[in-house]
Amino acid sequence: EAQVTQNPRYLITVTGKKLTVTCSQNMNHEYMSWYRQDPGLGLRQIYYSMNVEVTDKGDVPEGYKVSRKEKRNFPLILESPSPNQTSLYFCASSLRGRGTEAFFGQGTRLTVV
Amino acid sequence: DAKTTQPNSMESNEEEPVHLPCNHSTISGTDYIHWYRQLPSQGPEYVIHGLTSNVNNRMASLAIAEDRKSSTLILHRATLRDAAVYYCILRDRETIQGGSEKLVFGKGTKLTVNP
């Protein structure tokens, strides 16, 4: 089954404690991205990757890092989380340059206290 | 990115057709019209997309106005599982081919389906 898998689904952490949210896809997609969803602000892109070792900033990259060492994985790293990063996070993947459907993960609800 | 306008909310009864409108008066010739939906507590899910002609798939139909300034997503028989927020999104073909696959989500239409 084609899918994007995020882990963990829920996470409560404290300010400053580094964390990683993993994302993996099994569709051999070149393009992967991270979004955050906040009430009243909708979904906003954080970072994206067009292929292995190719990443770029989206609209709200501050406070986040990503890496793309393998095609299937695209982890989101919060080096020093702060309460304003409390949000619902989604990873997505798609074939590059085709404008076809994007597949989204189930989401990770992060709370930073 | 060109802007879309959708009603904030709509209501339907189960097993009845639902027509979800979207206005995109500033659409360019290279913009595709995409629809996604987000069920409660889930990630967005692709529904359908089109350029000029009407499109059908197993989930829905997309009717595109002749001048392309509006479109309608049609759910032929709404079920309770169709209750979701529906997003109409324009995607520029030239931007996509240039590498940016970003989806720009607006506020969408919250569809309520009554049993």
DSSP string, B67-106: TSSEEEEEESS--GGG-EEEEEEEEEHHHHHTT-------
Q: Give the whole-angstrom CA distance, residue B41 versus residue A10.
A: 12
* Residue B101 touches chain A, beta carbons under 8 Å: yes
Q: Looking at chain A, which residue has its C-alpha nearest residue B90?
A: A99
Tell me: pLDDT of A76 over 60. yes
Of B32, B91, B101, the CB nearest to A31: B101
| pLDDT (0 to 100) of residue B3 | 87
Mean of the pLDDT values across residues A10-38? 96
Residue A95 has pLDDT above 70, yes or no: yes
Q: Please list every residue in chain B whose beta carbon sits closer than 8 Å to the beta carbon of residue A33.
A: 101-102
* Cα distance between residue A98 and residue A5, in whole Å: 22
User: What are B52-109's pLDDT values in tens digits?
Assistant: 999 999 999 999 999 999 999 999 999 999 999 999 999 876 666 556 677 888 899 9
Sequence-ordered list of residues with C-beta below 8 angstroms from that of A93, at least 6 positions apart, any chain: A4, A25, A27, A29, A31, A32, A33, A74, A102, A103
How far is it, in rounded angstroms, from Cα B59 to Cα B86?
13
Percent of residues, chain A, with pLDDT higher than 90: 86
* Chain A touched by B45 (CB under 8 Å): yes
Q: Chain A residues contacting B, CB < 8 Å?
A: 4, 31, 33, 42-43, 45, 48, 50, 58-59, 90, 92, 94, 96-107
Residue A100: which pLDDT band, with cuts at 50, 70 and 90? confident
Number of helices (H), then strands (E), belonging to chain B: the values are: 1, 9
Which pLDDT score is estimated for B91?
A: 83
